Amino acid sequence: MPTSSGGRAGARSGEQSARRPVGTVTRGTTGPDRLRRVERWLAGTQARRLGAAADPLVVDLGYGARPVTVTDLQRWLRRVRPDVRVVGLEVSPERVAAARAALAGVPGAPEFAVGGFELAVPGGGDPVLVRAFNVLRQYDEGDVAAAWELLRSRLAPGGLAVEGTCDELGRRSSWVALEAVGPVSLTVSLRLGGLVQPSAVAERLPKALIHRNVPGEGVHDLLRAADDAWARAAPEGTFGARQRWLATCRALRRDWPVLDGPARWRLGELTVAWEAVAPRTRGAVGHDPAHSPGPRR
């Protein structure tokens, strides 16, 4: 179970944190291009953050039984920063050994090491970007807050972590962006072809929100509003699903704190400020009593 270590200084104290990975082994299901939606988002929206980093260190946390998502991530990010250093971390020594063997002798291959939420990378360093996908989905909701805090405490100044989940083929995906101050946004990314309604992403929400898709919670309100806007935009479907989604996002932007625009919407994405969907139940993950989540009025 992830545990907080009380800030960067305390988290770095002692050798034991680097030798005992924080986390548990997940099922490890993976496949080529499964995480392409979040990779495209990182390479696009976070290009400036990566480009400005003094140390272009990126961690793919909990990459699973095969190293393919690590190599996929490296391929996307090298378009932005050719000297990016991508490290795949797994709590399973067997998976790390298998990844190293699979890519032995491959020029420029990513690095692999045993590690968990403490983000202990070989040679040290604080990552500017971290991806943890389909990891916390297999944890209890009560473990999420500590895992987020630990991830945030390990980021380089100005760094960002994304924690989320997707379906088996990578057609429905969502993730929370975390900065040092806490969660800042929720992104949903959908394959528009064949989309029945936006709430299809509900079963692939991040762990912090998946049990919050109930009346009275912000994420439930957002998905209901998205479904309503999608239904009203049905006439735009004459021109294709993309045009219908663009109309849906434009409608949502009138009442919700939408953080992106048409360039991202065209890819099937929508990003909203975290405060709009943060759990309203006191004590829940990401709950902040100083905010009043929900749409703008």
For range 246-266, the mean pLDDT: 98
For residue 285, what pLDDT band results from cuts at 50, 70 and 90?
low
What percent of the chain is modeled with pLDDT above 90?
80
2 CB contacts (<8 Å, ≥6 apart)? 22, 23, 116, 117, 139, 143, 146, 147, 150
CA distance 60 to 130: 6
Tokens of 91: 């709590």
Q: For the structural domain made of 1-180, what CATH number should be given?
A: 3.40.50.150
CA distance 246 to 190: 13
pLDDT tens column, 14-69: 333 446 777 666 665 677 799 999 999 999 999 999 999 999 999 999 999 899 99
pLDDT tens column, 6-16: 334 333 433 33
Relative to beta strand 111-114, strand 182-190 is unpaired
| pLDDT beyond 50 at 3 | no
With CA atoms as reference, report the closest residue to 256 among 198, 200, 203.
198
pLDDT tens column, 212-223: 999 999 999 999
Q: Where are the domains of the chain?
A: 1-180, 191-278
CA distance 112 to 33: 19
Residue 57 phi, psi dihedral angles, 5° rounding: -90, 130
| pLDDT beyond 60 at 84 | yes
Amino acid in position 74: Q
Amino acid in position 267: L
User: What is the reported pLDDT for 143?
Assistant: 92
CA distance 258 to 234: 21
Contact indicator for 104, 135 with CB cutoff of 8 Å: no
For range 195-205, the mean pLDDT: 97
| pLDDT beyond 90 at 282 | no
Contact indicator for 161, 59 with CB cutoff of 8 Å: no
Which is more confidently placed, 1 or 66?
66
Which is more confidently placed, 180 or 20?
180
User: What is the reported pLDDT for 287?
Assistant: 57
Q: What average pLDDT does the structure give for the chain?
A: 89
Q: What is the 3-state secondary structure (H, E, C) of the chain?
A: CCCCCCHHHHHHCCCHHHHCCCCCCCCCCCCCCCCHHHHHHHHHHCHHHHHHCCCCEEEEECCCCCCHHHHHHHHHHHCCCCCCEEEEEECCHHHHHHHHHHCCCCCCCCEEEECCCCCCCCCCCCCCEEEEECCHHHCCHHHHHHHHHHHHHHCCCCCEEEEEEECCCCCEEEEEEEECCEEEEEEEEECCCCCCCHHHHHHHCCHHHHCCCCCCCHHHHHHHHHHHHHHHCHHHHHHCHHHHHHHHHHHHHCCCCECCCHHHHCCCEEEEEHHHCCCCCCCCCCCCCCCCCCCCC
pLDDT tens column, 134-177: 999 888 999 999 999 999 999 999 999 999 999 999 999 999 99
User: What is the reported pLDDT for 19?
Assistant: 64
In the numeric block, the tokens 């912000």 are attached to 218
User: What is the reported pLDDT for 296?
Assistant: 47
